[in-house]
Amino acid sequence: MFSVIAEDVTKVFREGREDVPVLKGASLSIASGEIVSLEGPSGSGKTTFLSILGCLLTPTSGRVSIAGETIEAKRPAQLQTIRRRHIGFVFQQFNLFPALSALENVEYALNLKGVSGKAAREQAEALVERVGLADRARFLPRDLSGGQKQRVAIARALAADPSVLLADEPTANLDSRTGAGILELMKEVNRSSGTTFVFSTHDKKVIAKADRLVRIEDGHVRRLGVRAADRWVMVKERRRAERA
């Protein structure tokens, strides 16, 4: 099963009177449970592409499908539903609510999903513990380190039990050791829940944790390498497709 499929995705931004094409036919298929690292020079469209995969932005043209649901260009209302159902997003700047504690930030994400009261509190506590922050649950974001804030952001993204977790430079504001810890956490989630991960990064240590590396270049997605684990996934997927 593919968890994410992007086919011939284009994105044109309008700047004043000019159309600026950023994505020019980007295609990428990601198997369920894969960890894909996305790289590319600054301005190449990594954030744009992740935002489209994450249903934060509609493509100008092309087709995107997430967990079997197809996103059509020009139907923004559809995005929120698909996003809430399937996607977790982690941003470089953490984007936590400053007035809410670590626990409340996670709880709020559960409320959005329709979980409330005691159930939300208990699930939030479990998620905060899962990312190793049980002893910081009542802290406000300003009293947390960068790595701890990013852990809260991951706990919040996991609140929706997403099939796909997208992270835009999740380690860019962290030192290399903390960044590696964040990736270790993502890998642990990947192993235990089968969550698909796509993250953009410039950090070589982080890139090394991926099953597969892709690069955005001139508006297209280029494969950089297939590792053994990835090949195995593809063989397994192909056999399953043949049986179906």
Instruction: Point out which residues bind ligand ATP (CB under 6 A).
Output: 13, 15, 20, 22, 40, 42-48
Give the tokens for residue 148.
């701890």
How far the first Cα of the chain sits from its last, in Å, is 11
Give the tokens for residue 63.
């087709």
- The site partner of 123 among ligand ATP, Mg ion, none (C-beta below 5 to 8 Å per kind) is none
From the number of C-beta atoms within 10 Å of its C-beta (0-12, 13-18, 19+), residue 203 rates as buried
- The site partner of 13 among ligand ATP, Mg ion, none (C-beta below 5 to 8 Å per kind) is ligand ATP
Choice between 40 and 62, CB closer to Mg ion:
40
**200 CB contacts (<8 Å, ≥6 apart)?**
37, 38, 39, 40, 46, 47, 50, 167, 168, 169
Choice between 74 and 142, CB closer to ligand ATP:
74
Q: Residue 46 CB, nearest distance to Mg ion (Å)?
A: 5
CA distance 236 to 105: 38
CA distance 213 to 199: 10
CA distance 135 to 102: 10
Choice between 214 and 233, CB closer to ligand ATP:
214
Angle in degrees, CA 100, 106, 107, rounded to 5: 85
- The site partner of 97 among ligand ATP, Mg ion, none (C-beta below 5 to 8 Å per kind) is none
- The site partner of 43 among ligand ATP, Mg ion, none (C-beta below 5 to 8 Å per kind) is ligand ATP
Q: Residue 169 CB, nearest distance to Mg ion (Å)?
A: 6
Choice between 57 and 140, CB closer to Mg ion:
57
Q: How many residues contact Mg ion, by CB under 5 A?
A: 2
Which residue in the set 3, 37, 47, 123 belongs to the binding site for Mg ion (CB under 5 A)?
47
Q: Residue 92 CB, nearest distance to Mg ion (Å)?
A: 7
In the chain, DSSP assigns E strands to: 2-15, 18-31, 35-39, 61-66, 69-71, 87-90, 164-168, 196-200, 212-217, 220-226
Choice between 26 and 31, CB closer to ligand ATP:
26
Choice between 107 and 168, CB closer to ligand ATP:
168
> Which positions touch Mg ion (CB under 5 A)?
46-47
